[in-house]
């Protein structure tokens, strides 16, 4: 891989994106796509806790794609995102038609692909103009904190 080449994009589509047409469209654009149904089976996927798929798919190196912004507000789910350094791209509106979701995703796919090089934890919202990084308060829960490095030291190593 050349210095400018991006790593392969590996995506995980959560249950909030489980429209078959959306999944099929994403698979035409990205080679390595796993859905929550692929991983757990259709019936079990309906009840698998968000914390479980966040951790499992993140440890597999996948960028999570969803439409549930409440995940970053839920303390347990936010903790899972922080602890396993998840990378989550969320649609700003989960009431979009599948066609609109697909068009929106395709339009912003180059930006999502560039994010594959950015270590987590992070959450970006798909907005009309591009991707907005959302505030993710990890309360010292991130993987750096577990390794003994504070979030502040990780963000500003020149002051450590």
For every one of its 160 residues, what pLDDT tens digit does the chain have, with 9 covering 90 and above?
Answer: 555 688 899 999 998 886 788 999 999 999 999 999 999 999 999 999 999 999 999 999 999 999 988 888 898 999 999 999 999 999 987 778 888 889 989 999 999 999 999 999 999 999 888 899 998 888 765 554 444 444 444 443 333 3
Q: Helices H, strands E: what count in the chain? A: 8, 6
Chain centroid offset of residue 30 CA = 15
Please give the pLDDT value at position 150: 41
H or E stretch including 99? helix 98-115
Q: Which two tokens stand for residue 86?
A: 């998840």
CA distance 63 to 40: 17
pLDDT of residue 69: 83
CA pair distance 126, 2, nearest whole angstrom: 28
- The pLDDT assigned to 140 comes to 63
- At 66 the three-state DSSP class reads strand
Q: What is the pLDDT of residue 88?
A: 96
Q: What backbone phi and psi angles, to 5 degrees, belong to 141?
A: -90, -10
Note the pLDDT of residue 142: 53
**Residue 158 confidence (pLDDT):** 36
Burial of 11 (0-12, 13-18, 19+ CB in 10 A): buried
């Amino acid at each position: 891989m050349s210095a400018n080449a991006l790593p392969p994009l590996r995506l995980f589509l959560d249950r909030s994106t489980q429209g078959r047409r959306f999944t099929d469209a994403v698979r035409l654009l990205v080679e390595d796509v796993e859905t929550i149904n692929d991983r757990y089976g259709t019936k079990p996927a309906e009840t698998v806790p968000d914390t479980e798929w966040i951790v499992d798919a993140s440890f597999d190196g996948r960028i999570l794609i969803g439409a549930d912004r409440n995940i970053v507000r839920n303390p347990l789910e936010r903790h899972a995102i922080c602890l396993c350094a998840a990378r989550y791209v969320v649609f700003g509106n989960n009431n979009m038609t599948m066609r609109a979701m697909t068009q929106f995703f395709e339009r912003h796919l180059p930006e999502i692909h560039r994010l594959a090089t950015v270590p987590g934890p992070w959450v970006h919202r798909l907005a009309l103009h591009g991707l907005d990084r959302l505030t993710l308060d990890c309360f010292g829960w991130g993987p750096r904190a577990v390794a003994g490095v504070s979030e502040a030291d990780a963000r500003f190593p020149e002051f450590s």
